[in-house]
Amino acid sequence: MNAKNRSIILVSILAAVALMLAFLPAGSSAQTSHPNASPHGVRPAPVGLLDCNGLSPIQRTVKVTGACSDPRGYEGGRFYDNGHYIGHDEPIVRFLSNRSGSGNSTSWTETLPRDPKAAPTVQTPGKDVTHWFELSVAPWFSMALCNSRSYPLTQPCTPNSDSNAPSATSPGGGSSFLEMQFYAPGAAPFVDNISCDNTHWCASLHINDLECDTNFVCNPNCVEPTNFAFIQRDGVPTGPPSPQLANLTSFTPTRQTLLMNPGDKIRSQIFDADLGGGKHALETRIDDLTTGQSGYMIASAKNGFMATNPGDCTGTPFNYEPEYSTAAPANIIPWAALETNISTQFEIGHYIPCRTVTDPTTLSLGGFTDTVWQNCTGPYEAAGKASGLTDEPTDAPCYPKGDTHGGRAAPNLVTGCANFDSGGDLDFDGTSYWPDWPKATKPTRYPAPFLQQQPRTRGALYSHIQFQTNAPASEASCGPNTLDGCAVPPPGAPGNFYPWWTLAKVNGDCVWEFGQMTNGKSFGRTAQYGTPDLSYFFGTLKSATLPLPRC
């Protein structure tokens, strides 16, 4: 890290202390702002989710592999959490509409992909047998949520209202980022790896807040707090979902957790649920159209969801609701690296297969103890590295093939690392950046793709789309004055590959696919992502807004 970046980080941390003091009640001191002494809300436990990135200095994380929303920084710059660069790789299709309700009620019908029958191999990058957990740790659907205790911390937020949109004269209402995340089978247990089990898909309601002001000065103790709960058949969280109180049970599936089979056709819905008595809260629901099972989760105070107080990191029971009425272009989550509201995405760059893993250490997560390895050796690492923004100090968490994590999970299918401790695959040498992606609608050596039908809002289609990716934010070649180096595939990546979106007709349905599919409209393959967006964040590529394409 150069001297300029160190200075920026130091100034940010000092300013964050000032921010914390500013939020304390009269007569309080910095000492009494410690969550164990605060009388102003629900105190954070010693272990929890005060920071999705696991970097809170006052609380140990209970989930080592959090798939977090990627913030942008001050004046469109890169974001640092407690001195650590935070960057993810999130290619999306954004859906736009001026129709009332398009920003607060959306549904998606998709067929979950199947993996090859053969186990993953680690022999020749670009030609290996791969499974979905190696390609994307968390495909998700998104929506902007209303929360005055999240960035920009200056204005109230009125749920379901386009008045919250940021403008030239206003930073907009307080925003949180909903990701309805899906998790592929093959690498359990979920608390310190990627999967619920080896044979099923599962899903969650995952919300990130950002405790930063308009200058991206943040409370370092709770920069990106997270509410999390699995989609459950009975709608009851497995454990406390809040940043303050989340524990091991929050990330341990139960018999009520909705488990879905590869190949199942499902319908996912995100909407503002009527709780009665004039109260509402966000609901995410999945109906498995193949098995007839259903599950749901409501982000309500009754279920234990909490907004985080930006001054002292205490929690306030809270009903999250959609932020906007419509999915108009101006209606975005103003702190996120992606300029979006309603979108479908594949979080990539979080897995590298290995021949062996080295440097074991003991991991303790609120009562769960496991051996985790920190570094990977094998053909992917040996193939070379792109020049990422920062060097990867570790590949952790890593686990060997067959690991049962002390008998808590079925044997892991391949030796590999999830690259979460470094913030992602910052040298772009993992599976995501090789042509190991779906190539046909049925699994071969590669898995089949998701088949996602066009989303609908109250029965209607969205009118426009836009492609985006924030991969360039992690590229050393990319900067506000070096835009030629902001590109996909990442410059210098040994696989020289980046997956793209395709719209195709499959079994009579018009569906979005992601990978290296060529059976429909591919919009120029990687050219579909467009060019750097200097007006918002140089580290994001963004296409022009396009009328909704048809098959």
Query: pLDDT of the chain along its 551 residues, tens only?
Result: 443 343 334 334 444 444 443 343 322 222 223 233 345 699 999 999 999 999 999 999 998 877 899 999 999 999 999 999 988 899 999 999 999 999 999 999 999 999 999 999 999 999 999 999 999 999 999 999 999 999 999 889 999 999 999 999 999 999 999 999 999 999 999 999 999 999 999 999 999 999 999 999 999 999 999 999 999 999 999 999 999 999 999 999 999 999 999 999 999 999 999 999 999 999 999 999 999 999 999 999 999 999 999 999 999 999 999 999 999 999 999 999 999 999 999 999 999 999 999 999 998 877 788 999 999 999 999 999 887 887 788 899 999 999 999 999 999 999 999 988 877 888 999 999 999 999 999 999 999 999 999 999 999 999 999 999 999 999 999 999 999 999 999 999 999 999 999 999 999 999 999 999 999 999 999 999 999 999 999 999 999 999 999 99
Q: Is 165 inside any structural domain?
A: yes
User: pLDDT at position 39, please?
Assistant: 55
Q: Is 458 inside any structural domain?
A: no
User: pLDDT at position 187, please?
Assistant: 96
Per-residue DSSP letter, 167: B
Q: How far apart are CA 146 and CA 173, in angstroms?
A: 7
Q: Is 390 inside any structural domain?
A: no
Kindly report the number of other CB atoms within 10 A of residue 536's CB atom: 17
Identify residue 502 by its one-letter amino acid code: T
User: pLDDT at position 422, please?
Assistant: 78
**Cβ atoms of residues 354 and 122 within 8 Å:** yes
User: pLDDT at position 330, please?
Assistant: 98
Q: Is 101 inside any structural domain?
A: no
Q: How far apart are CA 213 and CA 172, in angstroms?
A: 12
Q: Is 336 inside any structural domain?
A: yes
Distance of CA 286 to CAs 73, 235, 238, 351, 423, Å? 34, 11, 17, 27, 30
Q: How many domains does the chain have?
A: 1
Domain that holds residue 167: 3-89+112-347
Does the CA dihedral 302-303-304-310 come out positive or negative? negative
Residue 340, C-beta contacts closer than 8 angstroms, at least 6 positions apart: 92, 94, 142, 332, 333, 468
Q: What is the largest CA-CA distance in the chain?
A: 67
**Cβ atoms of residues 438 and 517 within 8 Å:** yes
Q: How far apart are CA 551 and CA 545, in angstroms?
A: 18
User: pLDDT at position 289, please?
Assistant: 98
Beta bridge partners of 466: 94
Tell me the pTM: 0.93
Q: Is 340 inside any structural domain?
A: yes
Residue 5, C-beta contacts closer than 8 angstroms, at least 6 positions apart: 80
First-residue to last-residue Cα distance in the chain: 47
Q: Is 182 inside any structural domain?
A: yes
Radius of gyration of the chain (CA): 21
**Cβ atoms of residues 510 and 550 within 8 Å:** yes
Question: And the tokens for 222?
Answer: 């709770």
Per-residue DSSP letter, 198: S
